[in-house]
Structure 1
Amino acid sequence: MTNLTRSVCLALTALAGTCAASSACAQGGGQDDGEAYLDASLSAEERAADLVSHMTLEEKAWQTGNAAPAIPRLDIPAYDWWNEGLHGVARAGFATVFPQAIGLAATWDRETIAEMGEIIRVEFRAKRLQALADGSASERYHGLTVWSPNINIFRDPRWGRGQETYGEDPYLTGEIAIAFIKSLQGDDPDHPWVNATAKHYAVHSGPESNRHREDIHPSPYDFEDTYLPAFRAAVVEGGVDAIMCAYNAVDGVPACASEELMQTILRDQWDFDGYVLSDCGGAANVYREDSLNYVDTGEEAVTLSFNAGMDLICGDFRNEWSMETEHIIAAVENDMLDEAVLDRSLERLFTARIRLGLFDEPDYDDDVPYADVTAEDNDTPEHRAKSVTVAEKSMVLLKNDGLLPIREAPDKIAVIGPNADSLDALIGNYYGTPSHPVTILDGVRKRFADSEITYVQGTGLIGPAETPVPDDVLCLDKACAKKGLKAEHFDNENLQGEPVSTGVESNAAFEWFSPERHTSVRWTGYLKAPESGEYRFRFSSQNGYRVFVDGKTVIDEWGVGDAPSIASGAISLEEGEIYPIRVEGFQRGLRGEQKLVWSRPSDATGPAVAAATDADLVIFVGGLTARVEGEEMRIETEGFAGGDRTAIGLPAPQQTLLKALHETGKPVVFVLMNGSAVAVNWADENIPAIIEAWYPGGQGGDAVANLIAGDFSPAGRLPVTFYRSVDQLPAFTDYSMEGRTYRYFDGEVLYPFGYGLSYSSFDYGKPKLSAKKIEGNGEVTVSVEVTNTGDMDSDEVAQLYVTHKGVSPAPIRALQGFKRIHLKKGESKTVSFTLKDRALSVVGEDGARFVPKGKVEIWVGGGQPVGRDGLPTPPGGKTTLRITSSTDLPD
């Protein structure tokens, strides 16, 4: 077979997943029976090394991309490494959707995270079996290499992807990551359930608009003190199988070409033995002119990256960037890249695939951990029930003036707000599809079944309330004699060629579930305006869309690809006039729903206020969704830019409505749904009860309703600081930690890191030390008795903070221990923590970590030892430990 024929074959197999029927592939020769890579008795490393030795250069180059094609002559199946599992199996149809990652961190509960991870790993295996049965196993989002968790530090609330993280603290992030990684992968390294991937390595947290060009120069202190600890924990303690290198550069060198990051630190210091993959497009960033442009050519870029330790390249489907295959071949042929370096990466990759059983599926040996999983083990009622439990544990009660819990169902409840009946507000980003979603409205209706429930949206997230355009204003003809719209359906995403079907439909709406769609639709007709004034139109969709009215482009959001949008456009219309309308949209994925929505000139606030006035209790559900905060998004509006935020207050339309509801004099419960801190200053001063619900997952409405009713006592704690304003923060682009997070911000905040209220109350005894002084290489046990002094059984989160008085540049205080415990009313339990080496260490300005000689102040309590007006200091106690000698710590 010629190189050209082989390249054509491999390109085809990348699309088709097999080339068994291809005559060109057949010419490559059959497999060599008896080869070592076929011997299952050998180790995965031995089999991988032998397998790579049988591959041609072209085959090797193709196998370094995320969409790796089949090589039939070697019995190598096609495989796409790209899969997501941030808070459940993502982007592959129905799955159990747990709370967004920031909500998982708010549980402060390692055991709950581990139990959730065990469910998610089962669903990945079940999904894999489904994919094998239906022939989709080689497609994206059907593999067992999971590109989660995101353990970047959420250093600034403006970052749109902060919702994907475990918050602002290195220790909390590392501990949640360890629990998640270990439970995902399981305890048999030779037969992992899945490969977890810690991302994005390193020093990565926005802005989204500049992520492909950002060159970050952290101080040695911040680098070691803030940006590396969670990754170290994921590798050294979590045993994570994979690392994803980031888009940005660190100290002038692209992260995906950094020998310091991938070899010196990751492999030499931390003994990482897994594989490293690029963020999607990250390898191209090394040389592209519109990105980091570190070198001039793709050949130079792949040579630097593979030499530095990167093993797998993810392309960027949004920008149609290649997998760099041709550059790899050229680099080797031109003696720039040693083929042995390429072999090293491939051996790592095939070792991982062999360990996952991808060469043995679906007939696994009985002794492998996942042998008993079936395709029916996905999205079960038991899994969804666990999602409710996790959501309940993630809820943070921010304020309660005695309104909650609602023990007796009110006669009338008004549920109002843009997130009250929103699926988007349940799932955040990087999500699966909940098969039985429960919105907040659904949950309230179920839990308060005897109450009369009225629902009014009242406002949109960042603009007027949007409702579906009704059928009766849409017409086929200019005279509006016939209702409906002409619909043209195409078998591609770009309305190309002749439509595959044409007909009359009542509205511009489309809903589908399975199989995978890559289609588009155009609706044309007329619209009769019911009133005069400004209208706003949008096509509610996960994909691209365009709306034209009266021959004018109202909104063009075509080509947004993977990023959802809520962008709308305005046009003024006259009552009774009939205008031509055209709506276009494309469909991508296994399931989706699209519909034409509008906001009308008449104010929607009036009906919301009327509903509140007539109610005994008002539940306002607002905040944000992943339609306005997220990854590299096309949204530019007041307070938001490209997925990030420019302001952190509650969006103005929601604030206006909330004030109007308060003025009715009726009690208001404010349910805040969001993935980042929102400065609800006015609400804190005026609304009697505020619940932080995050993006609580597919069953989140049940959890919120149960909390309101008092079926459990809330015990979630904030994993981020809620500031009062961005005016309290340094510039978003400043990666220095000075003045950021609870560890270095010394001003008054709205709600501090670690904060959360309960329906019960607790008392802490004085912390006791196993020794009052230790040497720098010693350890000490800290014990404290915690008592539930309230009238309700409840969880409590005991938090231990360490302060090195007089040591610079140490943080103000640092979390170094936490335990979530359950206490019946009147019950006491002793909680113990062990402190040693890293928990008692600080970092010098040179980045060296050591345990300093001197006094260490230790606080154990229900939060940080801080308060403010209207916010008392949590219960807890202090003690002091003396360290008698200084000790340097290894990297």
Structure 2
Amino acid sequence: MATFIAALPIMGQKYPYQDQTLTAEQRATDLVTRLTLEEKVALMQNASPAIPRLGIKAYDWWNEALHGVGRAGTATVFPQAIGMAASFDDNLLYQVFTAISDEARAKYVKAREQGELKRYQGLTFWTPNVNIFRDPRWGRGQETYGEDPYLTSQMGMAVVRGLQGPENAKYNKLHACAKHFAVHSGPEWNRHEFNAENISPRDLWETYLPAFKDLVQKAHVKEVMCAYNRLEGEPCCGNNRLLTQILRNEWGYQGIIVSDCGAISDFWRKGDHETHPDKAHASAGAVLSGTDLECGNNYASLPDAVRSGLISEEQINTSVKRLLKARFELGEMDQNVCWDSIPYSVVDSEKHKALALQIARESLVLLQNRNNVLPLKKDLKIALIGPNAADSVMHWGNYNGYPSHTETLYEAMKKRLPAEQLIYDTGCDRTTSVTLESVFSQCSLQGKQGFKSTYWNNIRQEGTPAAIVQTTTPFHFTTLGATVFAPGVNITDFSARYESVFTADKTENIGFHFQTQGIIRLSVNGKEVASGKYLQNNANLYTLKAEAGKSYDIRIDFIFNSKDRAAQLDFDMGRNIPVNLQASVEKVKNADVIVFAGGISPTLEGEEMPVNVEGFKGGDRTTIELPAIQRQMIRELKKLGKPIVFINFSGSAMGLAPESEICDGILQAWYPGQAGGTAIADVLLGEYNPSGKLPITFYTRTEQLPDFEDYSMKGRTYRYMTEAPLFCFGHGLSYTQFVYGKARISSPTFSKGNTLTLTVPVTNNGNKDGEEVVQIYLRRPGDTDAPSHTLRAFQRVYIPKGETKEVVLTLSDDNFLWFDTQTNAMNLIEGNYELLYGGTSDIDSLHKIQVKVL
């Protein structure tokens, strides 16, 4: 408390805001009165400075924990969110995020002990993403929990509860954030100018808003992030209907609203929304609509806005009080906070590694198993081939942390099989006919793998570095989304130096490949050999004629001083190998079975990315089909006449119609986190019985999709599709067979305030123990504009072979809410309904039971 003493008029006296026996509300009410206007405004920006005279510490509100503590060094990396959604296991997800919040608190305490907190070191985490994954082309769909509002809601609430901790605790463990509010799910390339318009009330209330409402009213999420795009003409971060009418007034939300990063700039910047003339008008408009905190720097103009009469200081006080209340709730200004005793040893602990493996196993979805090709017999000779078989970084997804080790599928299979039973070959690249075989792993400096990376917050590479870190994987840096290259580094006007020593293991040409927004200079052995800027398509900037056994000092200097949207530096080095499909086929021809590990990667799909190759644009996809080079590879492999098992890694649905005809088995692996290779090998070799279910529809082909920019749900997802998909939502096979008996219902009628139980007998008729996800859908016959059916309950259940489990699901008012065309709201509407139950959303495979709502 020493920092408070200087602010006190009498030694030892406390102001009310310093009294830990008062409520957070009372303390915030007192403290806001002691701040100047300029101090208040400073606290409304994500990088909030210290105010020493009042004992307020510097604090950066921006932290990430999408599937593990992100961007802050070592952490347990769980499967990407879409993969965890495939588990349909909200109880396990709660455990996962309890583990993540343990690691987050421990990392926060350690960072605080080392000095002033930087970005990605605080207690406020901007997750979960509960947008609806309405179109598989959206690159950020991997961050969501799929296409269904109910599944998204249940998984999202588990995340919030795991992060924030028990509601009756004196202090919140962390704060979670529901994003991006609302009606936001691509495209990425035009999100700063896009206007989602003509959204029907039914789509708004039945599809786009339910998860946000549940996170606010049931899980009591502490933050909500507004989106970049406009809704019906108003930017979401200044949208009175969304933020004031719905969120604040109708739902009673009292927490913080934070802008997406740079979203306020979109209000006035030419070429973007251009709904406001300048920063002051944009900032005032955002605050008046309810956006308390800006990720950005426009709010620095708020004092001018007050002096110009655009907003009053009292209206600013409302937002500042919310921010201070949150900091008091977290104990960020206090000592002896219970959560701070969590030991740092929890980070990357064995317990958390085991949890990463468990959720990775549950995330895997067996899409196809023709002729029971899986599980593979362990005496077979197995060929493992494909661009994703040995890529550890691909496993991490986006918004990721950095695990101490990631086991790839190749590593996992090598552990399980004798060398003579496993043939490995890369086969082909993901998208091109030339493969870069990286030699990045042959770079080290002073005994440390990778490159020493030094950053300065100026363009001259002068003064005290802003950060010095070790970069152990090929570079993939971007400031898109206001992401920094390293903690403490500016978004713009910064420079970097990357240094390492490359040791050649043979005489050959090594290409240095770059994709940049900014100025790059490459030096070898102290001599500048190449330079450039705005390099695209992983340009080969320089070729080193390396000699076996020699070492080469490598230095890369990078400068970014542009006021354009973002910096970028992608770098890898290696040998260019033209794809020789026939050579790969020849190498694996003696195998008994071929496992092809293909799909795409987070370097191709993600948030507003500078990617423009065939099938991909700006982080999104233009087609959902597997890239042509992989299709060609699979066709060539098929000519061998051997069974093929296709492992698809992706954050989204793939159009796999040809592959479903060619391949005997298809396993959807997502981006499965640090234990992904282990989990996949367990499934392939029968050590784990797959149990995941699709949280999204796998369409047959791109042509089945409506216009990407059309936010109408017509023709989208299992709820509104009229054509047959390739694999439906809720689909997932097992190595055993589950048979559903006739369900029993506690009453044929339901009325408001009551509950109804559905008892579903499920028998495991196979010869393996397994888990099944029992799914309950609601349907209202005769409602022609409604979804065909919509998920309203689910339960994962373990059933030993030969046994029957009576699965009991309890339904209440929320499970029977239906869109009311009379009030344009979700209500209990009298009438006849059907409850559909089974292990899939395929309506023809579901059992039906009648129920009447009174």
* TM-score > 0.5 by shorter chain: yes
Paired residues of 1:202 and 1:228 also in contact (CA < 8 A): yes
Q: 1:55-112 CA distances to partner (integer Å, 9 max, x unpaired)?
A: 1111111000000011111010110000000001000000000000000110001111
Return the offset for 1:530: 9.0
Aligned counterpart, 1:477: none
Secondary structure in 2 aligned to 1:195? coil
Select the residue among 763, 788, 811 that pairs with 2:739.
763
Name the aligned partner's letter for residue 467 of structure 1: E
Q: What is the aligned counterpart of 1:650 among 622, 626, 631?
A: 626
Letter matched to residue 835 of structure 1: L
Paired residues for 1:116-515 under 5 Å: 116-136=96-116, 138-188=117-167, 190-217=170-197, 218-315=199-296, 323-361=297-335, 363-364=336-337, 368=338, 370-406=339-375, 408-410=377-379, 412-449=381-418, 452-463=421-432, 464-468=434-438, 492=456, 496=460
Conserved? CA contact 2:598–2:646, under 8 Å: yes
2:851 aligns to what? Answer: 881
2:517, 2:377 → 1: CA distance?
Answer: 40
2:763 to 784, 787, 805: 787
From 537, 553, 567, give the equivalent of 2:537. 567
- Contact kept? 1:802, 1:857, Cα under 8 Å: yes
Paired with 2:385 and 2:635, the residues of 1 have a C-alpha distance of 13
Distance 1:508 1:123 in 2: 23
Aligned equivalent of 1:855: 832
3-state SS in 2 of match to 1:210: coil
User: Distance in 1 between the 2:734 and 2:501 partners?
Assistant: 55
Distance 1:489 1:152 in 2: 35
Q: Distance in 2 between matches of 1:724 and 1:548?
A: 49
Counterpart CA distance in 1 for 2:348 and 2:355 is 11
- CA deviation digits over 1:590-616, x for unaligned, max 9? xx996413423x434244212211323
2:282 alignment partner, SS class: helix
Q: Distance in 2 between matches of 1:877 and 1:400?
A: 24
Partner of 2:447: none
8 A Cα contact 2:373 2:643, kept in partner? no
Taking a change above 3 Å as real, the CA distance of residues 73 and 109 of structure 1, as seen in their structure-2 partners, is same
Q: 2:638 aligned with 1:662, yes or no?
A: yes
Q: Which residue of 2 aligns with 1:520?
A: 497
Structure-2 change in CA distance of 1:395 and 1:508 (3 Å) = closer
Q: Distance in 2 between matches of 1:63 and 1:376?
A: 33
What's the secondary structure of 2:760's corresponding residue? strand
Task: Name the aligned partner's letter for residue 142 of structure 2.
Answer: Q
SS of the residue 1:797 aligns to: strand
- 1:737-761: per-residue Cα shift (whole Å, max 9, x none)? 1111111011011100110000010
**Which sits farther off after the overlay, 774-783 or 93-102?**
774-783
CA distance in 2 between partners of 1:127 and 1:610 (Å): 50
**Residue type of the alignment partner of 1:568:** N
SS at match of 2:718: helix
The yes-or-no answer on 1:605 pairing with 2:581 is: yes
**2:92 corresponds to which residue?**
112
Q: 2:225, 2:99 → 1: CA distance? A: 24
Match of 1:87 in 2: 67
| Residue in structure 1 matching 2:663, options 687, 702, 707 | 687
Q: Deviations over 1:304-363 (max 9, x none)?
A: 111111110001xxxxxxx124311111122221111111111111111111111124x3
Indicate how the Cα distance of structure 1 residues 729 and 500 shifts in structure 2: closer, same or farther if over 3 A, else same. same
> What's 2:566 paired with?
none
Deviations 1:139-170 (A, max 9, x none): 00001100000000000000000000000011
Cα shift at 1:135: 1.9
- Aligned to 1:146, the other structure's residue is in SS state coil
Partner of 2:594: 618
Q: CA deviation at 1:574?
A: 14
Compute the displacement of 1:721 (Å).
0.4
Structure 2: distance between partners of 1:687 and 1:814: 31
The residue that corresponds to 1:538 in the other structure is: 513
- What is the TM-score of this pair, normalised by structure 2? 0.87
CA contact (8 A) 2:196 2:229 kept: yes
Give, in angstroms, the shift of residue 805 of structure 1. Answer: 0.7
CA gap of 1:772–1:541, structure 2 versus 1, over 3 A, is same
| Cα distance in structure 1, aligned partners of 2:354 and 2:122 | 26
Question: Structure 1 pair 727/595, CA: closer, same or farther in 2 (3 Å)?
Answer: closer
Separation of aligned partners in 1, 2:163 and 2:473: 42
What SS does the corresponding residue of 2:734 show, helix, strand or coil?
coil
2:37 paired residue among 47, 50, 57: 57
- Whether the 8 Å CA contact 2:515–2:534 is kept in 1: the answer is no
- Picking from 60, 77, 102, the partner of 1:97 is 77
1:31–1:329 distance in 2 versus 1, CA, 3 Å: farther
TM-score when scaled to structure 1?
0.84
The answer to whether residue 677 in structure 2 is matched with residue 701 in structure 1 is: yes
How many residues matched?
A: 811
User: Any unmatched runs of 5+ in structure 2?
Assistant: 444-450, 466-471, 478-484, 490-494, 561-568
Equivalent runs, 1:692-771 vs 2, <5 Å: 692-771=668-747
Residues 514, 854 of structure 1: CA spacing in aligned structure 2 closer, same or farther, 3 A cutoff?
closer
SS at match of 1:466: strand
Q: Distance in 1 between matches of 2:739 and 2:391?
A: 39
- Are residues 31 and 240 of structure 1, via their aligned partners in 2, closer, same or farther at CA, if it must alter by over 3 Å? farther
Residue equivalent to 1:504: none
RMSD over aligned CA atoms reads: 3.9
CA gap of 1:31–1:234, structure 2 versus 1, over 3 A, is farther
Instruction: Give the Cα–Cα distance (whole angstroms) in 1 for the partners of residues 518 and 812 of structure 2.
Output: 51
CA distance in 2, matches of 1:332, 1:722: 52
Per-residue CA shift, 1:515-559, capped at 9, x if unaligned?
A: 98873248999x9x9999xx986249999967899x99898557x
Match of 2:212, as an amino acid? F
**Does the 8 A contact of 2:519 with 2:532 survive in 1?**
no
Q: 1:399 to 1:493 in 2, by over 3 A?
A: farther
Secondary structure in structure 1 of the residue aligned to 2:68: coil
Quote how far apart the aligned CAs of 1:651 are. 0.6
Residue 482 of structure 1 corresponds to: none
**Gaps (5+ residues) in structure 1?**
1-18, 316-322, 475-486, 502-506, 559-565, 867-872, 885-891
C-alpha contact 1:416 1:456 (8 A) present in aligned 2: yes
Determine what percentage of the aligned residue pairs are the same residue. Answer: 38
2-structure distance, mates of 1:455, 1:30: 75
Q: Could you tell me which amino acid in structure 2 is paired with residue 263 of structure 1?
A: T
Change (3 A) 1:554 1:834: farther
Q: CA deviation at 1:455?
A: 2.3
Instruction: Read off the aligned partner of 1:72 and give its amino acid letter.
Output: P
- Provide the C-alpha distance between the structure 1 equivalents of 2:804 and 2:144, rounded to a whole number of angstroms: 33
Give the corresponding residue for 2:564. Answer: none
- 1:423 shift after superposition: 1.8
Which AA in structure 2 matches 1:418?
A: P
Q: How far apart in 2 are the matches of 1:642 and 1:410?
A: 45
